[in-house]
Structure 1
Amino acid sequence: MDQGKGLVLVVEDERPIADLLRMYLARDGFGVHVEHDGAAGLAAARRLRPVACVLDIALPGMDGTEVCRRLREAGDWTPVLFLTARDDEIDRILGLELGGDDYVTKPFSPRELVSRVKAVLRRTQGPPPGAEQVRTVGPITIDPARRECLVGGEPVPLTSTEFSLLAHLMGRPGRVFTREELLSSVWGYAAHTGTRTVDVHVAQVRGKLGDAAGVIRTVRGVGYTADA
């Protein structure tokens, strides 16, 4: 099997969906490993070190959010994309709060899911040429080339999406970005999918920045800015 783009771990208990994801990801050049329950998925993530994980939330035994939580607690920041039922907004938000990078609601287009996986992987591969410079706003310093965030000289662990969001805001200090602009620039897809994920990720970044959280300012009715 061609694994030129890396191995994606798919944890999905509905076998027809898992088989469909395997086919589409493999067709796009990814290696694919499939598990059908949470405990096996967690063990596979630790053993195989995939480039990304696609986790159904409603898994038998151990649900997808618990798998993600355990990975993050162990310092594993492998990008995670959740699969959720259309009406499970609480689960989607919980998944993002636990360190998920993105989510796709069922039923979904397999092509869209592959595009989302590719988008989250682009966020882990460093900045485009010319965007590598270290940036500092207030007590926060980010190094896009190293994917490193420091507050007062101390490292702050961020998911790939959290880092990309903070880097985008700090790239133009004082510039107000709408939620739609952030969704397009950071996540790489259109705002018709909903902007709630932007708010959840901003809240997560602020929580990790601690006393420096005030650097990210909400502009009521518009969006967000990074400003010392």
Structure 2
Amino acid sequence: MSHKILIVEDEEKIARVIQLELTYEGYETETASTGTEALDKFHKGQWDLILLDVMLPGLSGMEVLRRIRSNDSIVPVILLTARDSVIDKVNGLDHGANDYMTKPFQIEELLARIRACLRMTSLLYQEKQLDIQISDLRIDEKAREVTRGGQTIELTPREFDLLLFLAQHPQQVLNREQILNDVWGFDYYGDTNVVDVYIRYLRKKMDHGFSKPLLHTVRGVGYMLKE
């Protein structure tokens, strides 16, 4: 599947050259010549990368970049500009650009930077896919963070481990012994009622105040996490 690139450039000849080169390399492309048009196409499409001229009629490239970043923190943006001062470059990068190309540039270098940005973005998407999501519940295993409906849920380490185990087996009923062995460890010799206690803690934090419960009790068997 080819990557989709939005080319935002008000100089028609430059935009056409870039579009021809990218199309030849196998990319799908569209162009925009103003900041307003760029934002309209950004919101209507799914883009893998955006080439963004800084000097645009109407909305400037920096303002377009700011608005893009308020909606999407991952899509890579490479700024294109005739300004080559360090201040301009730093300003662009501080606004959320991934890279900066000074005009005139060699198309081979632009293609190399596009490939580099796409590789980096692919790694970021892979990391995000490590998150577990069930309905509006999101679990970031790496950061050990939990949100539901965008609201942060504060959990103790044990509560997080319990939720993670349940989330790794969605729609599956897990009995107390299974939960104890995985969350507390095989060498745990305490009362199995500890599972019930922590389930109550967890349910109060992640289901209380929401219209649909996600943590369910299957009487006589165990517990399960499902939409």
TM normalised by structure 1 equals 0.54
Q: Which runs of 4+ in 1 moved over 6 A?
A: 147-150
Shift of 1:65: 1.2
The aligned residue for residue 14 of structure 2 is 17
Find 1:49's aligned residue among 46, 49, 62: 46
In 2, the alpha carbon distance for the partners of 1:102 and 1:26 equals 21
The code of the aligned residue for 2:24 comes to R
1:90-144 alpha-carbon deviations (Å, 9 max, x no partner): 23211111111001111101121111111100111128xxxx9xxxxxxxxxx58
The aligned residue for residue 145 of structure 2 is 153
Shift of 1:47: 0.8
The aligned residue for residue 59 of structure 2 is 62
Shift of 1:40: 0.4
Is the partner of 2:78 in helix, strand or coil? strand
Shift of 1:5: 2.0
Verify: 1:84 aligned to 2:81, yes or no.
yes
Gaps of 5+ in 1: 133-142, 156-228
Shift of 1:152: 7.1
Shift of 1:33: 0.2
**CA distance 1:48–1:149, shift in 2 (3 Å):** farther
Is the partner of 2:51 in helix, strand or coil? strand
Find 1:103's aligned residue among 81, 93, 100: 100
The code of the aligned residue for 2:94 comes to E
Computing the radius of gyration over CA atoms, which structure comes out larger, 1 or 2? Answer: 2
In 2, the alpha carbon distance for the partners of 1:149 and 1:13 equals 44
Retained in 2: the 8 A contact 1:84–1:92? no
Shift of 1:12: 0.3
In 2, the alpha carbon distance for the partners of 1:26 and 1:109 equals 16
Retained in 2: the 8 A contact 1:5–1:31? yes
1:187-206 alpha-carbon deviations (Å, 9 max, x no partner): xxxxxxxxxxxxxxxxxxxx
Retained in 2: the 8 A contact 1:20–1:110? no
Retained in 2: the 8 A contact 1:55–1:81? yes
In 2, the alpha carbon distance for the partners of 1:23 and 1:36 equals 16
Shift of 1:10: 0.3
Shift of 1:87: 2.8
Retained in 2: the 8 A contact 1:54–1:83? yes
Is the partner of 2:123 in helix, strand or coil? coil
The code of the aligned residue for 2:145 comes to G
Gaps of 5+ in 2: 132-139, 148-227
**CA distance 1:150–1:58, shift in 2 (3 Å):** farther
The aligned residue for residue 3 of structure 2 is 6
The aligned residue for residue 36 of structure 1 is 33
